[in-house]
Amino acid sequence: MRKGFNVGMVVILLVLAGCSAVELPEREVDAPDVPIVTRVDADVVLAEGAVEAVERRAVSMRSGGTVLELEVEEGDVVAVGDVLLRLDAVDAELAVAQAEASLAQAEAQLARLEAGPRDTDLAVAEAQVGTTRSIVTQALTERQQLYAGTTEARMAAAEADLAAARAEELAARVAYDRTLECFTNPETGEEVCPSLGTNEERARFAWRATQAGLGAAEAALAALETIASTEERIANAAVGVARAQQAVAEAQLVQLEAGVAVEEIAAARSAVAQAMTAVDGARVALERMELVAPISGTVTRVVIKVGDQVAPGQVVLHIATLDALQVRTIDLTELDVVRLEIGQPVEVAIDALPDVTLAGHVSEIGLEAVDYRGDVTYPVVVRLDELHSRLRLGMTADVRITAP
């Protein structure tokens, strides 16, 4: 027999009133296939259910990371929007700063293009063209001076030095050869060949000196030719660089005078839009480093602690409305459910609290049947109009519904 209701008294009253009592079936603990549906009389229906919160939420993370701060513990009462925990957000904050900097750069570029060239920009570009033209003229002049001036004079002098050294060497060689020739003594008539002696030695030394001078003149000319070739390449390169700078300056001037192309402005606007999207995404990611309460209620369970690594979608705590409770029953048959209406008064007895009876009312009636222990039943929700300090979620409750 159900706790909280004096069924025997009800039966006696019905008999005295001339009505036949309805036999109450015994609850069979070992026969779960028998639905727990009890009809006392034509006006009262008994059913069994469980206490639950009107709203309960398993709160999960929208982002992953390391738990840096845990702001609540079990039993704390929270309101919608209250911060529950925070993750380490250093990387997310850096991403926001980088995205905002890129957006500022893209907006500045778009503003510059939409404003078009300013008079000062044109003046600067024209001045730059004039400067590069002067540089080209100067480079050409220096190259011409190099060809027609210093280099040619030095080359001519070196070639003259080489010719003189060759002549000196030839004369010294001839003089030396003469010291080796044989001759006839006019007095004695004898042939003389002085292979050694003072004249030959002096001539030999003089010839060797002229040979060294000739080698030095040849080396000087070769070195000058190398230097001249290097200087020529440098001068040509300077002219090429100056002409390239002039071409760039002239192209920039032409672009400024022509204005900004429509396609370029469109591309800049697209870049701004992309940068704004990146900023929004970075800010959302930063917001997700902070978990807030989706509903108002009491924290009933916390499953993580500071320092834990959490993943997106991981449940970290539970919140329930302990100040708004209800009883859900699924053991009412189709014969009973058709006699119920929203708002009907209900008496609720709690198995764990035999001395407590709470008032409530029917708040929901299922529109679709469910299979409960082999029978066709309908879920019904009873909203509790009063609470008790010892009432807990999940407690078994018996409901007494007064039908019209």
- Which pLDDT value is given to residue 10? 34
- Which pLDDT value is given to residue 17? 37
Interval 111-129: pLDDT, tens: 888 776 666 777 787 788 8
- Which pLDDT value is given to residue 123? 78
d(CA 3, CA 52) in angstroms, rounded, equals: 19
User: 329 exposed, middle or buried (CB, 10 Å; 0-12, 13-18, 19+)?
Assistant: buried
- Which pLDDT value is given to residue 347? 94
Q: Which amino acid is at 35?
A: P
Tokens linked to 165: 């050294």
Percent of the chain past pLDDT 70, that is, above it, reads: 81
Task: Compute the mean pLDDT over every residue in the chain, rounded to the nearest whole number.
Answer: 80
3-state secondary structure of 330: strand
Interval 244-270: pLDDT, tens: 888 888 787 776 666 666 788 889 899
Is residue 312 pLDDT above 80, yes or no?
yes
Interval 50-67: pLDDT, tens: 999 999 999 999 999 999
Angle between helices 198-258 and 119-148 (to 10 degrees): 160
Is residue 399 pLDDT above 70, yes or no?
yes
- Which pLDDT value is given to residue 157? 80
d(CA 41, CA 200) in angstroms, rounded, equals: 161
- Which pLDDT value is given to residue 167? 83
d(CA 239, CA 144) in angstroms, rounded, equals: 11
Q: How far from 37 is each of 12, 326, 333, 361, 401, CA to CA, in Å?
A: 21, 19, 7, 18, 12
The CATH homologous superfamily of the domain defined by 7-54+324-402 = Efflux pump adaptor protein, beta barrel domain (2.40.30.170)
d(CA 37, CA 21) in angstroms, rounded, equals: 16
d(CA 31, CA 37) in angstroms, rounded, equals: 14
| Of the listed ranges 74-78, 93-97, 100-104, 111-115, the one predicted with least confidence | 111-115
3-state secondary structure of 183: strand
Per DSSP bridges, beta strands 325-333 and 375-384 are antiparallel
Tokens linked to 164: 């003189």
When comparing pLDDT for 169 and 255, which is higher? 169
CATH of 117-259, picked from 1.10.287, 3.30.310, 3.30.70, 2.60.40, is 1.10.287
Domain boundaries, the chain: 7-54+324-402, 58-88+289-317, 94-114+265-286, 117-259
For domain 58-88+289-317, give the fold: OB fold (Dihydrolipoamide Acetyltransferase, E2P) (2.40.50)
Is residue 183 pLDDT above 80, yes or no?
no
Long-range contacts of 95-103 (CB under 8 A, 24+ apart): 95/282, 95/285, 95/286, 96/279, 96/282, 96/283, 96/285, 96/286, 98/282, 99/275, 99/278, 99/279, 99/281, 99/282, 100/279, 100/282, 102/275, 102/278, 103/272, 103/275, 103/276, 103/278, 103/279
- Which pLDDT value is given to residue 15? 33
Mean per-residue pLDDT for 269-280? Answer: 94
